[in-house]
């Protein structure tokens, strides 16, 4: 039996010129997670990350605290959906983006509703259904070998929400979509989702565990 640990990246720089750069908080979230895993005596057998800069920097921060951790391999199939394309694909995009996090989050959630609507699929290079298929495929490829040991995957909240929703929905695509809506907005930066892979297939054990941030309220962020 093996386990798959899905790590959401640390906080990115939402209000900077390059969103994909970890903020100082994001770097510290990664380091705190790595120290917590080291305290558990965990040494991963394999580390995989998406191709985004925030994935690489989170892996560097966390694995730097884990002596003996292998070098991360890169698989862009673990990348997040393109939030800029989702915003650009809105039927009526705003003239200016909101200047505060709350307003930006509300705008993104409105844009996601359009992206998730099959009638609007032609507006996007990667429609919602294609994103779902991509995540489902990479999960299968990562777990099909059933190898024992621990694989750590550094990825993004939308991907983790899709994996979790799919496992909980038990094959019902409508239920999976409803769950994704709810799970996507509550993923904590550097949160840990644990899957067990065995003879019964892939089973969700924990979602969005961020106990490593206890005692550090300033490090508990969602965006």
Residues 44 and 66 in one domain: yes
Q: Rounded to an integer, what distance in angstroms lies between the CA atom of residue 217 and that of residue 56?
A: 24
Among 28-32, 77-81, 148-152, 193-197, where is mean pLDDT lowest? 148-152
pLDDT digit string, tens, across residues 70-94 = 999 999 999 999 988 998 898 877 7
Residues 62 and 163 in one domain: yes
219 confidence band (pLDDT: 50, 70, 90)? very high
Token pair listed for 97:
């983006």
DSSP sequence for 159-221: HHHHHHHHHHHTT-HHHHHHHHHHHHTTPPTT-EEEEEEETTEEEEEEEEE-GGGTT-GGG--
Residues 91 and 174 in one domain: no
Mark which of 95, 125, 155 sits at the end of a domain: 125
Split into its structural domains, the chain has a count of 2
Which range of residues forms the domain containing residue 213? 2-81+134-219
Residues 154 and 93 in one domain: no
Residues 27 and 111 in one domain: no
Q: Rounded to an integer, what distance in angstroms lies between the CA atom of residue 222 and that of residue 131?
A: 21
Residues 120 and 164 in one domain: no
pTM value > 0.85: yes
Residues 173 and 214 in one domain: yes
Residues 88 and 77 in one domain: no
């Amino acid at each position: 039996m093996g386990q798959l640990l899905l790590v959401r990246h640390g906080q990115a720089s939402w209000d900077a010129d390059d969103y994909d750069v970890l903020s100082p908080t994001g770097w510290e979230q990664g380091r705190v997670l790595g120290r917590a895993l080291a305290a558990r005596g965990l040494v991963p057998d394999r580390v995989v990350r998406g191709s985004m800069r925030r994935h690489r920097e989170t892996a560097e921060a966390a694995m730097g605290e884990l002596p003996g951790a292998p070098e991360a391999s890169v698989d862009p199939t673990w990348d997040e959906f393109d939030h800029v394309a989702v915003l650009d694909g809105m039927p009526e995009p705003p003239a200016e983006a909101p200047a505060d996090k709350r307003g930006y989050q509300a705008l993104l959630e409105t844009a996601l509703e359009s992206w998730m609507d099959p009638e609007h699929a032609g507006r996007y290079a990667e429609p919602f259904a294609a994103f779902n298929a991509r995540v489902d495929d990479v999960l299968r490829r990562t777990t099909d070998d059933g190898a024992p040991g621990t694989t750590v995957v550094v990825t993004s909240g939308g991907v983790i929400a899709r994996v979790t929703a799919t496992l909980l929905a038990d094959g019902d695509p409508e239920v999976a979509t409803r769950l994704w809506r709810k799970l996507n907005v509550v993923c904590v930066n550097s949160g840990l989702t644990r899957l067990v892979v065995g003879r019964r297939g892939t089973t969700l054990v924990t979602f969005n565990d961020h106990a490593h941030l206890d005692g550090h309220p300033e490090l508990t962020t969602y965006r």
